[in-house]
Amino acid sequence: MMDKIDLRKIELKGAYNFRDVGGYSTKDEKKIKRGKLFRSDNLAKLTRGDLHKIEKLNLQLIIDLRSKEERISKPNRLPSKNGIKIENIEIVDNKKSHNELKREIFYGKSKERDLEKEILSSYRLAITDYRCELKKIFELLLNPANYTALVLCNSGKDRTGVVMALALMSVGVSKKNILKDYMLSQSQFKTDDNTNDNNGSFSFSLSGGYSSIKKIVGHAC
């Protein structure tokens, strides 16, 4: 059984999708430790109170999946004396953005099935085209010295969602709970520019790309 979202979400005023990935049961009847691995949207708007909460998490590593342009546009705010290791590992879809396709659908220039096709394609490309980046991410996550760790992107949904799905799958969390965790980001959505992510929309689940993800795990880049 999956925990309620309010038990895993970290309430922050400047980030809407910051949550603990721990607590899930695995197929061998073990549980992922809480307070060790987190996922989030960008941290550009953290308040002083938010920074105090972040400091208490004792983060050792932040993996930022955003492009250089995104990081410059929305630089993360972190506690002044943090000692946190930052790894910028870019996973960026250079094709037409999904937000752009949404606008075209709104104005009748594209059809809704084009958006779904584009989103599912970007999920698969994130796995196949970024094998080296994913390999580096999991090498970092396999190092006990890097915990507590945080993985983030602009909205903490698509790119972070793919990485977290792979992480949960690798330790034996059920497909059902992986998909539920993936979709929790939709319930965090707020109408704010903080949540705009040019790399996808959570109107669609990972189910279309799940088999592709499973084939890639363990493959060298």
CB 183: neighbour CB atoms within 10 A?
16
User: In angstroms, rounded to a whole number, what is the distance separating the alpha carbons of residues 164 and 123?
Assistant: 13
Q: Quote the pLDDT of residue 57.
A: 93
Q: Which two tokens stand for residue 167?
A: 């992480």
pLDDT band at 211 (very low <50, low <70, confident <90, very high): very low
Q: Quote the pLDDT of residue 126.
A: 64
Q: Quote the pLDDT of residue 212.
A: 42
Of 99, 154, 91, 95, the closest CA to residue 127 belongs to 91
Furthest CA-CA distance within the chain: 51
Average pLDDT of span 179-184: 83
Q: Quote the pLDDT of residue 116.
A: 57
Per-domain residue ranges of the chain: 5-216
Q: Quote the pLDDT of residue 2.
A: 45
pLDDT digits (tens, 9 = 90+) for 65-120: 999 999 999 999 998 877 899 999 998 755 445 455 555 555 565 555 555 566 56
What is the DSSP secondary-structure string of 17-69? --EE----BBTTS-BPPTTSEEEES--TT--HHHHHHHHHTT--EEEE-S-HH
pLDDT band at 125 (very low <50, low <70, confident <90, very high): low
Q: Quote the pLDDT of residue 207.
A: 37
Percent of the chain at pLDDT exceeding 70: 65
Q: Pick the residue with more confidence: 108 or 12? A: 12
Which amino acid, residue 29? E
Residue 199 clears pLDDT 50, i.e. is over it: no
Q: Which helix (H) or strand (E) holds 62?
A: strand 61-64
Kindly report the CATH number that applies to the domain delimited by 5-216.
3.90.190.10
Q: Which two tokens stand for residue 119?
A: 């989103």
Residue 209 clears pLDDT 50, i.e. is over it: no
- Average pLDDT over all residues of the chain: 76
Q: Pick the residue with more confidence: 61 or 201? A: 61
Q: Quote the pLDDT of residue 114.
A: 57
